[in-house]
Chain A
Amino acid sequence: MNWNSWQEFLHMGGYALYVWGSFGVTAVLIAGEIWLLRSHRQKALTLARLTVKYGRVKEDESTT
């Protein structure tokens, strides 16, 4: 075990900005992508539902 305390862990030997900056931004990006994927799927589903209901629907119609 490398760390004696939480402070030490968070401090990362003085490199907190760099280490947490890397891991943090990566986490945010991945979370963001997952969120985008979900909203993409929702949009695609509504679009498909509208299409099934009303026949041909343009993408723009479902979003506006």
Chain B
Amino acid sequence: MTSRFNLYKYSSPATFYALAGKMIPWFYGAAALLGAVGLYISFFLAPTDFQQSEAYRIIFIHVPASWMSMFIYVVMAGWAAFGLAFNTRLSFMMASALAPTGAMLTFVSLWTGALWGKPTWGAWWVWDARLTSELILFFLYLGFMALQAAIDDPRRADRAGALIALVGVVNVPIIYFSVRWWNTLHQGASVSMTKAPSMATIMLEGMMVMALAVWMYAIAASLSRVRSIILERERNTQWVAQLLETEV
């Protein structure tokens, strides 16, 4: 593990721990602000939908959560790949830190989708491609976390988790393409909102703002989690000892 790679220096847990500590409040702040604006748009600016009445407002939480759930998985796999390639401890820790937040957002997507499905489709759940692939994504997250939890040696846990994350990410596009061979209730039902362009704009804006809020929240949460993981893993090192003296 000699520093053949310059990046290694910047990815040192000690440096990153401090950096993350400074960034977290900003991300939480941004998330709160954007969330407030987004919720205001969702409930007060966006008009009642012509077909779905108020039920459609679920979109403002459903779509951002769905987007982020997929995005986080890809980012997680990216960190895992980086870790395997360059053997940087921090990358593995980032991957582990992202998983619970990703799983939580996947669950939000499933939950809100189900609550939306009942009034619009008359069923909590249908086995359509989009829904199913989101469910599988949930299992992929759980598999990653279960594997890491089952391994006691952190080194092995890191690398085994990274490997399964990478294998899983190959699966994501494959599942995604299966949309073509399935009848997809999901997309057909979401047409109504493109009726009036003005409505679409404000809704789109609301969705975007909420998506940004979720994004900021995800960053804040995973940074905060990675700090705890760093502390656990590095508690035997000199810098943690110094940190504890000065900080608390």
Binding site for B on A (CB under 8 A): 1-3, 9, 12-15, 17-19, 21-23, 25-26, 29-30, 33-34, 36-37, 40-41, 43-45, 47-49, 51-52, 56-57, 59
Contacts and interface: CB of A to CB of B under 8 A. Distances in A.
B231 interface: yes
B25 to A, nearest CB: 13
B231 A21 contact: no
Nearest to A22: B112
Per DSSP, chain B at the interface is helix
B211 to A, nearest CB: 13
B115 A21 contact: yes
Interface string B52-63: 011101100110
Contacts of B108: 25-26, 29
Interface stretch (B70-78, B155-163, B192-200, B232-240): B232-240
Contacts of A48: 231-232, 235, 240, 244
A33 B60 CA distance: 20
B48 A13 contact: yes
A50 to B, nearest CB: 8
Contact of A37 (B62, B107, B221): B221
A47 to B, nearest CB: 6
Contacts of B119: 15, 18
Nearest to B39: A23
Interface of A is mostly: helix
B106 to A, nearest CB: 11
Nearest to A8: B54
Interface in B190-248: 217, 221, 224-225, 227-229, 231-232, 235-236, 240-241, 244, 248
A2 to B, nearest CB: 6
B116 interface: yes
B111 A51 contact: no
Given A2-B43, A13-B53, A22 B58 contact: yes
B100 interface: yes
Contacts of B47: 2
Contacts of B10: none
Contacts of B46: 2
B65 interface: yes
Given A12-B54, A18-B118, A51 B236 contact: yes
Contacts of A59: 232
